[in-house]
Structure 1
């Protein structure tokens, strides 16, 4: 893999399902009012980090509504055309299959065997459902996106995608990655030196 330029990774702002602790996966849930504020906060952090150079970056988002809205709020706050970015379906969140829409408490009650299997192998476990994915599968999907970046890039995507990216780029191993928290409204900076929150 070629050396990477700086990646500014932003997880989408909060949705009502986030607030309720529900797994969204690829369900298309909109930002709530808190999420809109978080998107604006992320823009302010990005401006402080990159300054005017940010206008020269590439901007890419997952095609889901919550990520596109986060990107558009962010770009507008930066004084850039809200629609001046591209979306990439490979950046969609991990597909949780039959678990989508449920809280972890509900999953543990309704699918105790699946929940236990995931506890034993957070990276390799795939829930039931024809389109469901494991983190290992997600990493195969997203790795080419990050391998192909040619300049500094702002990415707005999802918590699972952030974990997969850090593994694909060699910054975390498969034991550590599923356990990191990926905050909303913060900027995850990834470059040749490693990764850090800003």
Structure 2
């Protein structure tokens, strides 16, 4: 794993991601009685759409019956997208150090977002979610949901591990990995 900052770059799932998406669908089927009864809300990026489609097929649902919501996109790293931390340290070490000193609030150059900015976007989206839902999105969105839905400290959330291919169930002020 290169540790490349993907952000909103619209890259496809790789083979590992495809296997993880299939597994996530089967896990979802195992923990939910009727996942077909809930709305599926999905980021418009290709990797999340393919994840949703593969997960739906894995549980016997039509692959394309889901809602796209632009607000569920990953945070954007602006000029930093597509680069590794090692590459960025060579060209913007001061920016990288500033970001590590304040992961929640730092905004990388060129129309990027901080987690704090992403939190505002996701809070606006969440105001319109009026029932349990299946959300297929990104690690940054998950970190923001940790803060909004569980009360996790933003600095802790910015460093929280995100496991690809696992599900997070938010309920009653908790976040449980499945």
Same fold (TM over 0.5): yes
* Distance across 2 between alignment mates of 1:22 and 1:162: 18
Residues 1-198 of structure 1 correspond to what in structure 2 (within 5 A)? 19-51=1-33, 53-129=34-110, 131-198=111-178
* Distance across 1 between alignment mates of 2:172 and 2:129: 13
Give per-residue Cα distances to partners, 1:109-142, cap 9 Å, x unaligned.
211110111111110000000x211110000001
What is the CA RMSD across the aligned residues, in angstroms? 1.1
* Distance across 2 between alignment mates of 1:67 and 1:171: 26
Give per-residue Cα distances to partners, 1:74-119, cap 9 Å, x unaligned.
1111111111001100010101011101111111221111011111
4+ residue runs over 4 A deviation: none
SS in 2 for 1:110: helix
* Distance across 1 between alignment mates of 2:78 and 2:129: 29
Structure 2: tracts of 5 or more residues without a match: none
Q: Measure how far apart 1:151 and its partner are.
A: 1.9
* Distance across 2 between alignment mates of 1:191 and 1:145: 18
* Distance across 2 between alignment mates of 1:181 and 1:116: 20
Moved more, 163-172 or 182-191: 163-172
**What TM-score does the superposition give when structure 1 sets the normalisation length?**
0.87
> Is the contact between residue 169 and residue 176 of structure 2 (CA under 8 Å) also seen in structure 1?
yes
Q: Measure how far apart 1:146 and its partner are.
A: 2.3
Structure 1: tracts of 5 or more residues without a match: 1-18
SS in 1 for 2:17: helix
* Distance across 1 between alignment mates of 2:8 and 2:112: 10
> Is the contact between residue 64 and residue 92 of structure 1 (CA under 8 Å) also seen in structure 2?
yes
* Distance across 2 between alignment mates of 1:20 and 1:118: 19
For these two proteins, the number of residue pairs brought into alignment is 178
- Identify which of structures 1 and 2 has the higher relative contact order when contacts are C-alpha pairs closer than 8 Å and 6+ apart: 1
